[in-house]
Amino acid sequence: MTEDVLNWIKKEKLMTEGDTVIVGLSGGADSVALLLVLLELRQRIGYTLLAIHVEHGIRGEESRKDAAFVEELCRQKNIPCRICPVNVPDYAATEGIGVEEAARILRYECYQKAAEELKQSGAGRVSIALAHHANDNAETVLFQMARGSGVHGMCGMHPKRVLGDDILIVRPLLCVSRGQIEEYLKKCGQEYRTDGTNLDINYSRNRIRHHILPELSVINEQAVSHINQSALLLQQAVSYMEQETKKAVQTCCIGGGGAYVILENEWKQYPEIIRQEIVHEVLGKTAGSRKDLGMVHVQDVCALMEKQTGREITLPYQMTASRIYEGVRLCRRGTHKAGTGTWQEKGGCETEGAAGASQSFYEVTADDFAKLEAGETVSITLPDANVSLRLLLFSGKVDEIPKNQYTKWLNYDRIECGLQFRRRASGDYLTVDDAGHKKKLKSYFIDEKIPQIKREHIWLLAQQSHVLWVIGGRISAVCKIKEDTKKILEVRIDGGNYRED
């Protein structure tokens, strides 16, 4: 088994000479075997070993005995050991999550904290070695299939994952089975601790471990190996899909800061599987995490594309998806007037100019709107101009509206969300009259005889694909001041070529 693990480590480049390797040591069979194997290979590869035991505070005296066993084992093997006590039940109750998930989160926090401390003390690359093996991976694949996680979940565990700057999570035992591990420990004459909760079939993974996998192995004794092979093939396929999805997102998604729009026309140009991946990607961006976002949520958003404008669904992470004219808008509650507050250069959803070049944008944040409503002036610095925003009460006298080219009054009552300063993007339009008739921005540029070379450099004030103001040109009819307007958003732009005559 040791040679199998060595070949796996080399193949996947899990650790190299000079690394510090943190072993997550529970005291169970898997982690004890991992410690012994890595101890055997330490001189051959040239890394430093450190063991960390997380005492979960779940099983009382049994848990404390596990910690004592780990300390004694490490003393015998002359390996530095840290015991990290945590309170899983309290954390689970506070966060409203299951005990299993709480334990996992707190374990990873302990490992990462130790790795960061090592980095601060001058260590090179730090690899956090976890004892997951082929059976664990098969269980994960089946569990994710059962909960409907899609192809990403069915990829199972990856051999390594970047956790931070020169900090990796690695799984050296993914190449071996639980049977091989037990046989290895038997040959070594090494004892280990048994966690009674591993026998409790009220836990989903234990039910898979003790009931489902054994039945599959009756059907085919190589079931675990075959599931792992399938997961590896899926990892390769998903890696390719992710590359294609990232390209696609650039062409059919606009927004940022917790509010995005998937543009229907552009989105429908892609095959169904890429369309689903686009939605999954944008859901993750909006939520800030992909965890607990399954295929059911992806399919619900895809189905929304076929619904009438105005339909809305609720999603995890306090998200809503709304069918709008351009496609589907995703946002988290509380971000209807929120944004990034900073320039978006890469990452997130960038606007896409007609020439295909990614464009930066500034999205007015919730803090900005709060300042406006408190009577403050908000200043924004664009690359070639300065913008000031302020909120005014309207007197009802339409003749007071300024006629300046670079100062506009907009009907604040009609401004709802995602207000951005940006360049043009595919799907942009203006509302040209009170009846709601629309004109493509491209048509507006043609009608105004604006040269192609200038169109790429014109700033827009936009709300999703709806252009409220072509800066220096017309405003949308939706934002025009009416006699019943209550509040005015004054937008003034100055600097560079933006100066009043």
Q: What is the pLDDT of residue 257?
A: 60
- Residue 404 and residue 485 in one domain: yes
Does residue 399 have a pLDDT over 80?
Answer: no
Give which of 132, 136, 22, 32 is closest to 84, Cα–Cα: 22
Q: What is the pLDDT of residue 289?
A: 80
348 marked among binding-site residues: no
Average pLDDT over residues 304-308: 93
pLDDT tens digit string along 310-354? 889 999 888 999 998 778 989 887 543 333 333 333 233 333 343
How far, in Å, are 195, 419, 427, 441 from residue 438 at the CA level?
66, 19, 11, 9
- Residue 217 and residue 254 in one domain: no
Q: Mean pLDDT over all residues of the chain?
A: 86
User: Could you give the count of Cα atoms lying within 13 Å of 471 in the half-sphere of its Cβ?
Assistant: 30
28 marked among binding-site residues: yes
CA dist., res. 303 & res. 324, Å (int): 13
| Any domain includes 233 | no
CA dist., res. 358 & res. 351, Å (int): 6
Q: Among 332, 359, 381, where does a domain finish?
A: 332
The answer to whether 98 and 106 are in contact (CB under 8 A) is no
Q: Which residues pair with 20 in a beta bridge?
A: 48, 126
| Any domain includes 380 | yes
Q: How far apart are the first and last CA of the chain?
A: 81
CA dist., res. 143 & res. 127, Å (int): 27
| Any domain includes 230 | no
| Any domain includes 311 | yes
pLDDT tens digit string along 405-426? 888 999 998 887 678 898 888 8
| Any domain includes 429 | yes
Q: What is the pLDDT of residue 340?
A: 33
- Residue 287 and residue 400 in one domain: no
User: Residues with Cβ < 8 Å from 78, sequence gap 6 or more?
Assistant: none
Per-residue pLDDT band at 385 (split at 50, 70, 90): confident
Q: Which residues pair with 392 in a beta bridge?
A: 488
Does residue 130 have a pLDDT over 90?
Answer: yes
- Residue 361 and residue 391 in one domain: yes
Does residue 58 have a pLDDT over 50?
Answer: yes
User: Residues with Cβ < 8 Å from 247, sequence gap 6 or more?
Assistant: none
30 marked among binding-site residues: yes
Q: What is the pLDDT of residue 497?
A: 62
Q: What is the pLDDT of residue 223?
A: 92
- Residue 136 and residue 209 in one domain: yes
- Residue 319 and residue 368 in one domain: no
257 marked among binding-site residues: no
Q: Across 54-58, 95-99, 436-440, which has the greatest mean pLDDT?
A: 436-440
> What length is written for the chain?
501
| Any domain includes 232 | no
Q: Among 156, 186, 221, where does a domain finish?
A: 221
Q: How many domains is the chain partitioned into structurally?
A: 3
Q: Do the bridges between strand 126-129 and strand 167-170 make them parallel or antiparallel, or are there none, so unpaired?
A: parallel
The answer to whether 171 and 157 are in contact (CB under 8 A) is yes
- Residue 292 and residue 320 in one domain: yes
Q: What is the pLDDT of residue 152?
A: 79
Q: Which domain holds residue 479?
A: 351-494
User: In terms of C-beta distances under 8 Å and separation of at least 24 residues, what long-range contacts does 223-229 make, across chains too?
Assistant: 223/138, 224/134, 224/135, 224/138, 224/177, 225/134, 225/177, 227/137, 227/138, 227/141, 227/142, 227/156, 228/134, 228/137, 228/138, 228/156, 228/174
Average pLDDT over residues 23-32: 95
CA dist., res. 476 & res. 59, Å (int): 65
Amino acid identity of residue 240, one-letter, is Y
Per-residue pLDDT band at 268 (split at 50, 70, 90): very high
Is 158 buried (19+), middle (13-18) or exposed (0-12) by CB count in 10 A?
A: middle
- Residue 201 and residue 287 in one domain: no
Q: How many CB atoms lie within 10 A of CB 193?
A: 19
Token pair, residue 277, equals 């991946």
CA dist., res. 258 & res. 251, Å (int): 18
| Any domain includes 339 | no
User: Residues with Cβ < 8 Å from 343, sequence gap 6 or more?
Assistant: 360, 361, 362
- Residue 310 and residue 380 in one domain: no
- Residue 151 and residue 259 in one domain: no
Does residue 256 have a pLDDT over 70?
Answer: no
CA dist., res. 458 & res. 213, Å (int): 61
Please give the order of strands across the beta sheet that includes 167-170.
81-85, 48-55, 20-24, 126-129, 167-170, 160-164
CA dist., res. 58 & res. 18, Å (int): 36
Of 488 and 164, the one with more pLDDT: 488
Per-residue pLDDT band at 51 (split at 50, 70, 90): very high
For the chain, helix, strand, coil in percent to 5 are: 40, 20, 35
CATH of the domain at 297: 3.30.465.60
- Residue 434 and residue 469 in one domain: yes
Q: Which residues pair with 460 in a beta bridge?
A: 422, 470
Q: What is the pLDDT of residue 71?
A: 95
Per-residue pLDDT band at 294 (split at 50, 70, 90): confident
CATH of the domain at 115: 3.40.50.620
Of 285 and 25, the one with more pLDDT: 25
- Residue 358 and residue 418 in one domain: yes
Average pLDDT over residues 360-370: 77
The answer to whether 264 and 328 are in contact (CB under 8 A) is yes
152: phi then psi, degrees, rounded to nearest 5: -65, -45
Q: What is the pLDDT of residue 499?
A: 64
The answer to whether 339 and 286 are in contact (CB under 8 A) is no
Q: What is the pLDDT of residue 334?
A: 53
Of 249-258, 314-323, 352-361, 451-460, which gets the smallest average pLDDT? 352-361
395 marked among binding-site residues: no
| Any domain includes 236 | no
CA dist., res. 81 & res. 477, Å (int): 69
